[in-house]
Amino acid sequence: MRKQLLAAAITASLVLAAPAKADDELNFDAYREMLADGNPAELYEMEGEELWRTARGPKNATLEQCDLGLGPGVVEGAAAQLPRYFEDTGKVQDLESRLVTCMETLQGIPSAEIVTGRFLQGERGKVAALVAYVVTHSKGKPIAVDVSHPKVKEMYELGEKAFFYRTGAMDFSCASCHGEDGKRIRATHLPNITKAEGAAAGWGSWPAYRVSNSQFWTMQHRLWDCFRQQRTAEPVFGSDVTIALSVFMAGKGSGGEAVWPGVKR
């Protein structure tokens, strides 16, 4: 509760200090710089680090032996190389689905409890905090997702198809908002994810703290909400389509800088 109250107080100060319109147009760069100063995501990062080192679950174990792709317990640079294929699961996994695997195998926390849960609540809320902790150790590093592995390449191609697939009552696709330069919604610029620079900007700035609702959103949460806004069926947490879209964005944006965790309007 203390974390939420402190984050809300910081959010309120940012909103009250939002720049006024100048020449009938918001100063977007100044606004983003202001938001990034004192990112409340740091509170989630601290919670995540504690969760990483605390023995929990039926097996009363920590996550310090969790293998995120660079060896047991290695978090430095790990997020910048995810999603990737993991031999032990036989799957391409993003950071969140991999953390769920570690929580189940190391701590005995049932994955179903997380998959069927709700964002920001229970064990899924703890996954978000863990994400905040892990991605901080890739801040400023280049996105380096290798799509040469056959399974990763397969997911990349599926993600590209999903990106352009139109669905829902509004007949929208991801590309409807993120397929052209210069688009924005209110004070939010929408990156063109069909280009490497835009893909890096989109992928490399989520997870992020959202000032408008005082919440920390992971990429799984962001993708779920994109589907919701398309007025179509929301994806299952950690499902193939969410992993595929992540591989597409990360692969397209490889080489760009990761600025995790981001801060959004």
66 has catalytic annotation: no
CATH code of 219's domain? 1.10.760.10
Tokens of 108: 């005995």
- Do 20 and 96 reside in the same domain of the chain? yes
- Do 8 and 127 reside in the same domain of the chain? yes
- Do 159 and 219 reside in the same domain of the chain? yes
108 backbone φψ class: left, alpha, beta (φ>0; ψ -120 to 50) = left
Amino acid at position 234, single letter: E
- Do 157 and 132 reside in the same domain of the chain? no
Q: Is residue 111 one of the residues assigned to a domain?
A: yes
- Do 105 and 158 reside in the same domain of the chain? no
Residues with Cβ within 8 Å of 70's Cβ and at least 6 positions away in sequence, in order, are 76, 77, 78, 81
Residue 147 DSSP one-character state: -
Q: Is residue 145 one of the residues assigned to a domain?
A: no
Domain boundary among 114, 136, 158: 136
Q: Is residue 76 one of the residues assigned to a domain?
A: yes
Domain boundary among 80, 113, 136: 136
- Do 110 and 195 reside in the same domain of the chain? no
- Do 69 and 168 reside in the same domain of the chain? no
Residue-range definition of the domain harbouring residue 123: 2-136
Residues with Cβ within 8 Å of 18's Cβ and at least 6 positions away in sequence, in order, are 31, 34
Question: What's the pTM?
Answer: 0.88
Q: Is residue 69 one of the residues assigned to a domain?
A: yes
What pLDDT is attached to residue 20?
Answer: 45
Number of domains in the chain: 2
What pLDDT is attached to residue 16?
Answer: 44
- Do 28 and 127 reside in the same domain of the chain? yes
Catalytic residue among 66, 174, 177, 226: 226
- Do 22 and 49 reside in the same domain of the chain? yes
CA distance linking residue 71 with residue 112, whole number of Å: 25
- Do 175 and 100 reside in the same domain of the chain? no
Residues in the chain predicted with pLDDT less than 70, given as ranges, are 1-37, 187
What pLDDT is attached to residue 18?
Answer: 47
CA distance linking residue 198 with residue 107, whole number of Å: 38
What pLDDT is attached to residue 152?
Answer: 98
CA distance linking residue 29 with residue 5, whole number of Å: 27
- Do 157 and 255 reside in the same domain of the chain? yes
- Do 165 and 111 reside in the same domain of the chain? no
How far apart are the two ends of the chain, measured CA to CA in Å? 22
Taking each helix axis as running N to C, give the angle between helix 219-229 and helix 240-252, from 0 to 180 degrees, rounded to the nearest 10. 110
Q: Is residue 189 one of the residues assigned to a domain?
A: yes
pLDDT in tens, 134-185: 999 999 999 999 999 999 999 999 999 999 999 998 899 999 999 999 888 8
